[in-house]
A and B are shown apart, each in its own frame.
Chain A
Amino acid sequence: MEFDGWTALIGTGTVVAVFVVVMLMVILAVWAERRVAAVMQTRIGPNRAGPFGLLQTIADGIKLLMKESITPRQVDRLVYELAPLLAVLPAFLALAIVPFGPGFCIGGQGTDCSGGYFVDMQIANLNVGVLWFLSMSAIGVYAALLAGWGSGSKYPLLGGVRASAQVISYEAALSLSVVPVVVAAGTLDTQGIVLAQSQYRWFLLPLFIPALFFFVAALAETNRPPFDLVEAESELVGGFHTEYSGVRFMLFFLAEYVNVVTISALFVTFFLGGWTGPYPVAGSVNWAPLFGAIWFLAKTVCIIGIFFWLRVTLPRLRYDQLMALCWKRLIPINLVYLMAVAVWVAYQATGDLPRLVGGG
């Protein structure tokens, strides 16, 4: 394909579309979380702004934009300003590899779409997509670490150190629970992982333990309850963002919810068959991409719902319990499971089990 104006336009359009969809999901997620929590705790929840309080998030956003961003005297100016940006940037960049649906062809002929333009329903179709996501969540650590240190006060520093230790540890667990998916699908490409699960061969059942561990690690990675020790109010005031207010606080808040959406979308991609669904069977109808996106978003919303549900029901873990869970349970069990999956895949490929397990 030649690089021309249309290619650039399609690329820009994809970016804008993904951004708009995700921002809408974030705005609704913040509202839905408070309503769901209210129902579970037999309260009413926000119901004033707009129908059912739907506009509450927008009202809060405007309020935060109008408020003064207080900069405490003792901050390290550069680091303090940089931290919220480093929170938002990787959160959005990680979205680049989420496949929202099957690609489709505009104006072209045949399966290779000759003479037309092939539109991927994802921003970047990288052949190292999974690693891209892991590298972006690795960069996400800096937000908490730098916010904690740059604030120049004690609670944020403690919160920042806690956050980074937690995120680094759970990142190992998260990566290890993605590896069985990569081994089973035989590719690091997210679109390829979805295609490997077509016709209901979802990885959720054969890879149930990695799926469960991925979800637990995702909760910890996004600092969601019951792993929100980072901002344990009773111990740390607000954690690493104690000294942030106004727009800068909003950026941290936004980054957290974008991360929740991204990681739920990736859970769907890795374990729930991505955009595949009961109708239509791939490519049989012109509207396949639209249906793909609908299935994908529906599954993602369900996963986000579980995030809310767990948040209301579970008490916060203690710090040593958090670390013990990661290093003594998730990682070793994942390693054993990974070996089993690798042996199984190799057996499927070669049909020679005795030699694989060292028998002869």
Chain B
Amino acid sequence: MSGEWILYIVFGATALVSAIGVVFLANPIHSALSLIGALASVAGLFLAQEAFFLSVVQIIVYTGAVVVLFLFVIMLLGIDSADPREEQLLRRQWFPWAFLGGVIGVGGLVLTITGIDLPFGVSGTDTADAVNEAGGNVQALSERLFTDWLLPFELTSILVVAAIVGGVVLAKRTKDLRGSGMGLTPDLAERISEEVEADAAEGELDPEDAFEADDVDPDPDSDAVLVGETSENGEG
């Protein structure tokens, strides 16, 4: 059994398990963590194919940026407090699209496995030897990107710039409403304050909750020593 084959089995298995976790875990944060695992495993698969550049970029872009933003949104907006009826409605609305996406994905997989050539798309001509001759992944890839595929590359960058401009415009609009509720749109601010009140009524946000009696050191002096020695207060 070759090393590549072992890596394929290991990373393929973790990718599969984490992908299942993304769908079935109840807590959205755990789902996002699982997604990190899945994306990192795919990076591992690329690594096994000696596609170093792709593998590292996969980690930088997806694991390092995209999922961090997912986590940010989940943590700050608290999606797990969604109304179950609303969730049901969303599920019904999106089901056809999710189904369509699934069919396309499975279809693509079947076509790839059976090796049927499609009328569109490209079959690669860059063998491992050709890549080595160009001086490595980065050189081979950049040469392709800036000669044969320059137009698609530039079009993609225009798309990204448009997305950035859109993001700035959206952020600017909410900033103008600062007077009406801390930079939030009025209805969002109202919803948040309602939720805070509801939580307070249930006692969820009671500050006493966070500090159980056994967590508090009865001797304040020993606490101070701990801070001086372990934190980087510079008192040592």
Contacts and interface: CB of A to CB of B under 8 A. Distances in A.
A141 interface: yes
A41 B56 contact: no
- The size bracket of the interface on B is 20 to 34
Given A78-B30, A127-B136, A149-B29, 10 more contacts: A37-B236, A56-B236, A64-B230, A70-B215, A138-B65, A145-B75, A146-B71, A149-B75, A168-B68, A188-B138
A34 to B, nearest CB: 4
Given A72-B215, A142-B68, A79 B29 contact: yes
B59 interface: yes
Contacts of A38: 236
A138 B52 contact: no
Interface in A116-157: 126-128, 131-132, 134-135, 138-139, 141-142, 145-146, 149, 153-154, 157
Contacts, number: 94
A161 interface: yes
Interface in A205-250: 228, 231, 233, 238, 249
Given A74-B209, A145-B71, A312 B234 contact: yes
B60 A135 contact: yes
Given A46-B236, A139-B64, A142-B36, A161 B230 contact: no
22 contacts: A41-B234, A60-B230, A64-B230, A78-B30, A127-B137, A131-B53, A134-B56, A135-B60, A135-B64, A138-B59, A142-B36, A142-B68, A145-B68, A146-B33, A153-B210, A154-B210, A164-B72, A171-B64, A228-B232, A238-B231, A249-B230, A312-B234
Contacts of A73: 212
Contact of A34 (B57, B138, B236): B236
Interface in A35-69: 37-38, 41, 45-46, 56, 60, 63-64
A119 B65 CA distance: 35
Given A161-B72, A188-B138, A238-B231, A128 B56 contact: yes
Nearest to B59: A135
A128 B234 CA distance: 38
A141 B36 CA distance: 12
A253 B75 contact: no
Contact of B75 (A45, A157, A238): A157
Contacts of B76: 161
Nearest to B40: A139
A157 B59 CA distance: 25
B63 interface: yes
B35 to A, nearest CB: 12
Interface of B: 27, 29-30, 33, 36, 52-53, 56-57, 59-60, 63-65, 68, 71-72, 75-76, 136-138, 209-210, 212, 215, 229-234, 236
A161 B76 CA distance: 9
Nearest to A53: B236
Given A37-B234, A135-B59, A168-B68, A161 B210 contact: no
A139 B29 CA distance: 16
Given A64-B230, A76-B29, A128 B53 contact: yes
A268 B209 CA distance: 49
A144 B59 CA distance: 18
Nearest to A130: B56
Interface residues of A, number: 49
The CB with the most chain B CB atoms within 10 A, among A34, A76, A131, is that of: A131
A320 B59 CA distance: 29
A182 to B, nearest CB: 10
A132 B56 contact: yes
Q: DSSP majority for the B interface?
A: helix
Contacts of A64: 230
Interface of A: 33-34, 37-38, 41, 45-46, 56, 60, 63-64, 70, 72-74, 76, 78-79, 82, 126-128, 131-132, 134-135, 138-139, 141-142, 145-146, 149, 153-154, 157, 161, 164, 168, 171, 188, 228, 231, 233, 238, 249, 253, 311-312
A174 B134 CA distance: 29
The CB with the most chain B CB atoms within 10 A, among A45, A74, A135, is that of: A135
A127 B138 contact: yes
A60 B229 contact: yes
Contact of B236 (A45, A139, A161, A253): A45
Contact of B210 (A37, A74, A127, A311): A74
Closest 6 CB pairs of A and B: A138-B64, A135-B59, A131-B56, A34-B236, A127-B136, A135-B60
A311 B234 contact: yes
Contacts of B53: 128, 131
A142 B62 CA distance: 13
A139 B59 contact: yes
A23 B56 CA distance: 26
A137 B46 CA distance: 20
Contact of B52 (A41, A126, A233): A126
Nearest to B227: A233
